[in-house]
Copies of this chain bind each other. A is one copy, B any other.
């Protein structure tokens, strides 16, 4: 029998097991609270390396850690694999398909998804990169394009199969374009007999006047130079006006150009996850242009001091009024801050407003090629690339992931091979066996 004298513990419910939610949960490890972390997936995904899954260097599990195993020894935390469909700030509970989960403090950290700027019909033709399934689909398309080109005899069709268009010149677009160029020029060079993979064209299309727009201008120049050296055609001030599965139409200086290209990858924009709309509906909070929740200086929702929004889903401005970027370090620091605030409040203390301590930003282009802005120090080339490697290994959650990723990288570095370039998820029908159908139904929904 439980001792009846003990008062019920303060219940913290965290929705989303990305960087923000996970760091919040872990930072509450020693607090006298009950933590419930709810995620619809059973693992934390290290999204900054997802492009390496999409391009065949790493496996999904190399950059994923089961949430349960991360929080296994944190006795005040439990994990629920569940989908939150609504929140009720008056009753103080979140609503899932299986019922209500009460909270005293709610932390919402469900992140963002792709944004097609009103062209949702492009979604199937130009997949984005946010989930493991997205990455496997991209990988499938990239490697299938080379396979199809090897069999194609029509030179026009072959050229379209060997043309890859990456839409969006932010870090993800730059990383994808660089990785595909290395695939074509190095990894696959000796593997085909009918095609010359080095003839593949990789276009990186950016609407603004330079790649990596949030970076200092000189680093954008360096990045564009590195991409060009790798064989990527960088097209800035260029907009995509049409995508139809066979061609892409680009617009530059009011002039239109249509290119035959079979593989289009979307790295152009994000919008807040649906939770933003739910929070706005239930609390009256404002949303910004991409659906992020406008939060107070302590990351709480205006008028609801016990509801916090953190990570990519939050629009939190720095003292100059500029919103913090949607990157992992911001989410981590926000998660830690909210955990600290919850603990402070339990002791009737207050905390100063959240501020993001930026250590720097890093974007990788390819082997020995990256750019880094570390507190005003601008680096590029090998040294930036090396810092990128060390930083990403450091932040990978589990020890065996670090080791495996390091080995894959050392191996790729030496041999230029990519061990994970397998095409899965769809099987050409065999003579008798029907194609393996990934099951859509949820046989375990009980």
Contacts and interface: CB of A to CB of B under 8 A. Distances in A.
B400 A408 contact: yes
Given A400-B411, A431-B275, A81 B40 contact: no
A61 B422 contact: yes
Most chain-B Cβ atoms within 10 A of its Cβ — which of A110, A144, A422?
A422
A61 B420 contact: yes
Contacts of A437: 440
A110 B278 CA distance: 52
B446 A161 contact: yes
A145 interface: yes
Contacts of A407: 400, 403-404, 407
Interface in A62-86: 62, 64-66, 68-69, 72-73, 78-85
A191 interface: yes
Minimum-distance CB pairs A-B, first 7: A274-B432, A274-B431, A59-B59, A61-B420, A68-B191, A400-B411, A133-B436
Most chain-B Cβ atoms within 10 A of its Cβ — which of A72, A82, A403, A438?
A438
Interface in A404-436: 404, 407-408, 411, 415, 417, 419-433, 435-436
A444 B148 contact: yes
Interface stretch (A150-158, A172-180, A304-312, A379-387): A150-158
Contact of A274 (B40, B188, B401, B430): B430
Nearest to A81: B147
Report the interface size class on chain A: 35 or more
A427 B131 contact: yes
A393 B3 CA distance: 54
Interface in A59-117: 59-62, 64-66, 68-69, 72-73, 78-85, 98, 110, 113
A196 interface: no
Contact of A277 (B262, B432, B445): B432
B42 A147 contact: yes
A143 interface: yes
A93 to B, nearest CB: 16
A80 B427 contact: no
A394 interface: no
Contact of A148 (B134, B404, B431, B446): B446
A425 B152 contact: no
B61 A141 contact: no
A125 B444 CA distance: 11
29 contacts: A42-B421, A43-B423, A59-B420, A61-B419, A61-B420, A64-B422, A66-B421, A68-B192, A69-B191, A72-B191, A78-B193, A82-B428, A83-B428, A98-B151, A113-B433, A131-B427, A133-B425, A133-B438, A134-B436, A137-B436, A148-B446, A152-B446, A161-B444, A273-B433, A398-B417, A403-B411, A407-B407, A425-B438, A426-B438
Contacts of A216: none
A397 to B, nearest CB: 10
Nearest to A42: B423
Given A98-B151, A273-B431, A444-B145, A400 B419 contact: yes
A9 interface: no
B444 A144 contact: yes
Nearest to A143: B42
A345 interface: no
A424 B60 CA distance: 9
Contact of A446 (B157, B190, B275, B431): B157
Interface in A294-314: none
Contacts of A150: 80-81
A132 interface: yes
A355 to B, nearest CB: 30
A401 B404 CA distance: 10
A124 interface: yes
A245 interface: yes
Interface string A126-144: 0000011110110001011
